[in-house]
Amino acid sequence: MGICVGLQALFDGSEENPAVPGLGIIPGRLKRFSDEDKAVPHIGWNSANTARGDGDDGVIKSGSQDGRTSIYGLRPSSKYYYVHAYAAPYREGELEAHGWQVATARYGDEEFVGALARANVLATQFHPEKSGAAGLRVIKAFLHGDALAELPSSVSSPPVPEGLTRRVIACLDVRANDAGDLVVTKGDQYDVREKAGAASTNGTSTTAVNTAGAVRNLGKPVDLARRYYASGADEITFLNITSFRSSPVADQPMLEVLRQTSASVFVPLTVGGGIRDTVEPDGRAVPAVEVARLYFASGADKVSIGSDAVDAAEAYWARGGRADGSTAIEAIAAAYGRQAVVVSVDPRRVYVDGPHVTSHHVIATERPGPQGQRHCWYQCTVRGGREARDLDVRQLVVAAEALGAGEILLNCIDRDGSNEGFDIELVRDVKSAVRIPVIASSGAGVPEHFRAVFDETGADAALGAGMVSLFSDASSYRRLRRIFALGFVQFCLGDGCV
Ligand code: 1PR
């Protein structure tokens, strides 16, 4: 069984490195997706269908070639998690002529191989180990040798449209509270301390009593992550929000959180906070790529770089817009692939009277400033918003993409914890500046906010922290499920999207 690059290695070769031959077991070469019309890498939940659509609307009409047979547990009603920039283009009949059964997916107008099987060989471009229950079913079928099985009668209708879904991501801001326990917390504009008289939520109940000044406690990270997974979260992100306080790398509490979470949570896990070159208390230098390695070895699929990316972008522009291989983004992308590197951005609005007053990238805004200003720019910050830099959000994301980031996690300090909705103007502006996927973050308060950011900005994913934590007790399970299902019903790219 080959997964992702394990499928790719079976082909003759790849555009990714033409000089290196593949194993040549499957005829054909891999090509990079075109980013003319869509974000690359292709990240998220997509189909693996064995039947051809009728061509009119791109909608799959039946489950497999005979309509009722499942190959290694694949179902036309399921979506699977993909993360890759190169793929094997699908040409009808070619692989079948060599005895392969092929399941395909569509990204934009490109149809590519999502999975293929022949005898006891199964290869998937998607990650079954990160595809929740649908992926576990594929792994189980492979281990049991169930190459072909009858689809259950419940799996027939309605057919699932082809194409990538939007992702709804649950975020857990994690830090130690004053008693030294690791808790999930949530700030208002990054302030995570309780205000006098405010309600306090601990993941299962809300009380009116709290200790003013204490770190807000929403529950335990592993418990909450499991609950989000069980409720259908497409992805889970942990941010160690006090990572700027140094502690020995091997003692990072997030390593244990990841180990425990990844043992029972089978969707992608991102971890952020403290991904940079560090010096241990004994004076030993630890490069960022080593910090990232520890996180990947503990179960993370992606690392998210915040403050260090700002430093890297400043250096990039100081060199005249040139990469020199010295940054954590470049080192981690080179070692693990750019899809494993997220850059987390913490911008804050700065209102101005017009574009002429600053050299930064200014946008016109429909939400005027305190003095009625109709323009603003977004200033990047580091250390959890504590320090502002002379760098605008566009400069940061363009540099991050050039250095090798695979995705942007776009927070907004003004909206964080506000429940007022995403900053649509910010998301739209960043989306227009880069080709890599953009995750909108900060401000989700009701499900309509997710719909709005998907409809109005083309964001590839949207993340919620405070809002989803409100529904994390057992009685709110169905409401949480509905929120996480939003991305699935909000099909976005390619033919046949609804
Ligand atoms: O700088 O590489 O060590 O990374 C630190 C990371 O921690 C950064 O990604 C930074 O965004 C995050 N961080 C630091 N301080 C805070 C804080 O809240 N005091 N949290 C913080 C950032 C932003 C999101 C939040 C969304 C959605 N929080 O994680 O979850 O704004 O919130 P909402 O849906 O409740 O509105 P480094």
Return the best residue to mutate from 245, 411, 426, 480 for the ligand 1 pocket (most ligand atoms within 8 A of CB).
411
Catalytic residue (one of 111, 162, 173, 301): 173
Question: Counting Cβ atoms within 10 Å, is residue 218 exposed (0-12), middle (13-18) or buried (19+)?
Answer: buried
Distance CA 423, CA 410 (A): 10
- C-alpha count within 13 angstroms, C-beta hemisphere, residue 219: 24
3-state secondary structure 267-313: CCEEEECCCCCEECCCCCEECHHHHHHHHHHCCCCEEEECHHHHHHH
Q: Could you tell me the two tokens for 306? A: 């915040």
What sign does the CA torsion over 142, 148, 149, 151 have? positive
How high is the pLDDT of residue 60? 37
The pLDDT of residue 483 is 84
* Average pLDDT along the chain: 89
> What was the pLDDT predicted at 327?
98
On the question of pLDDT at 178 being above 50, the answer is yes
What are the C-alpha distances in Å from 61 to residues 51, 138, 297, 492? 8, 21, 41, 19
Mean of the pLDDT values across residues 410-438?
97
In tens, the pLDDT along 427-439 reads 999 999 999 999 9
Q: Could you count the other beta carbons within 10 Å of the beta carbon of residue 157?
A: 11
52 pLDDT more than 80: no
Query: CA–CA separation, 492 vs 200, rounded Å?
Result: 37
Q: What is the pLDDT of residue 476?
A: 75
**Residue type at 310 in one-letter notation:** V
Which residues are CB-neighbours of 434 under 8 A, at least 6 positions away? 397, 398, 400, 401, 408
Distance of CA 151 to the CA centre of its chain: 31
Q: Percentage of the chain surpassing pLDDT 70?
A: 88
Q: Is the pLDDT of residue 51 over 90?
A: no
Find out whether 236 and 225 touch, Cβ atoms under 8 Å. Answer: yes
Between CA 141 and CA 72 the distance in angstroms is 5
Ligand 1 pocket test: pick from 175, 184, 190, 276 the residue with the most ligand atoms within 8 Å of its Cβ.
Answer: 190
pLDDT for position 63: 38
Q: On the CB side of 245, how many CA atoms lie within 13 Å of its CA? A: 8
Residues with CB under 6 A from ligand 1: 171, 173, 186-187, 190, 192, 239, 241, 243-244, 272-275, 304-308, 344, 346, 384, 411, 416-417, 441-444, 464-467
Question: What token pair was written down for 489?
Answer: 């019903």
Q: Give the model's confidence band at 30: pLDDT under 50 very low, under 70 low, under 90 confident, else very high.
A: very high
Average pLDDT over residues 138-156: 85
Q: What is the CA(240)–ligand 1 centre distance, in A?
A: 8
Quick one: pLDDT at residue 58?
36
Contact 417, 194 (CB under 8 A): no
Residue 282 confidence class, pLDDT cut points 50, 70, 90: confident
Work out whether strand 148-150 and strand 121-124 pair parallel, antiparallel, or are unpaired: unpaired
In sequence order, which residues have a C-beta less than 8 Å from that of residue 172 and are 6 or more positions away?
184, 221, 224, 225, 236, 237, 238, 239, 465
Mean pLDDT across the stretch 284-301?
A: 95
Q: Which residue has the higher pLDDT, 203 or 483?
A: 483
Q: For residue 202, name the pLDDT band (cuts at 50, 70, 90).
A: low
Single-letter amino acid, residue 133: A
**pLDDT tens-digit readout, 336-369:** 999 999 999 999 999 999 999 999 999 999 999 9
Which residues make beta-bridge pairs with 342? Answer: 304, 407
C-alpha span between 22 and 14 (Å, rounded): 8
Q: Is the pLDDT of residue 209 over 80?
A: no
Share of the chain above pLDDT 90, in %: 73
SS3 per-residue string spanning 185-202: ECCECCECECCCCCCEEC
Whether 324 is catalytic is no
Instruction: Give the confidence band of 485 by pLDDT, cuts at 50, 70, 90.
Output: confident
- Size of the chain, expressed as the number of residues it contains: 498
Catalytic residue among 84, 111, 129, 235: 129
Give the DSSP H/E element, type plus range, for residue 171.
strand 167-176
The stretch 137-158 carries a mean pLDDT of 82
Q: Which amino acid belongs to residue 186?
A: K
pLDDT at 204 over 80: no
Task: Give CA–CA dist 337/415, Å, rounded.
Answer: 31
Whole-model pTM: value is: 0.92
More confident residue, 190 or 404: 404
Cα 11 to Cα 47, 110, 113, 337, 388, distances in angstroms:
21, 18, 11, 19, 48
C-alpha 384 to ligand 1 mean position (Å): 6
Q: How far apart are CA 160 and CA 163, in angstroms?
A: 9
Per-residue pLDDT at 440 exceeds 60: yes
Side-chain-facing half-sphere of 162: CA atoms under 13 Å? 30
CB-based burial of residue 272 (10 Å sphere; 0-12 exposed, 13-18 middle, 19+ buried)?
A: buried
In the set 42, 84, 111, 127, the catalytic residue is: 127
The pLDDT score that the predictor gives to residue 208 is: 45
Res 76 pLDDT > 50: yes
Q: Are 1 and 120 in contact (CB under 8 A)?
A: no
Dump the DSSP string for 344-413. Answer: EE-EEEEEES-GGG-SS--EE-SS--TT---EEEEEEEETTTTEEEEEEHHHHHHHHHHHT--EEEE--T
Q: pLDDT at residue 157 above 60?
A: no
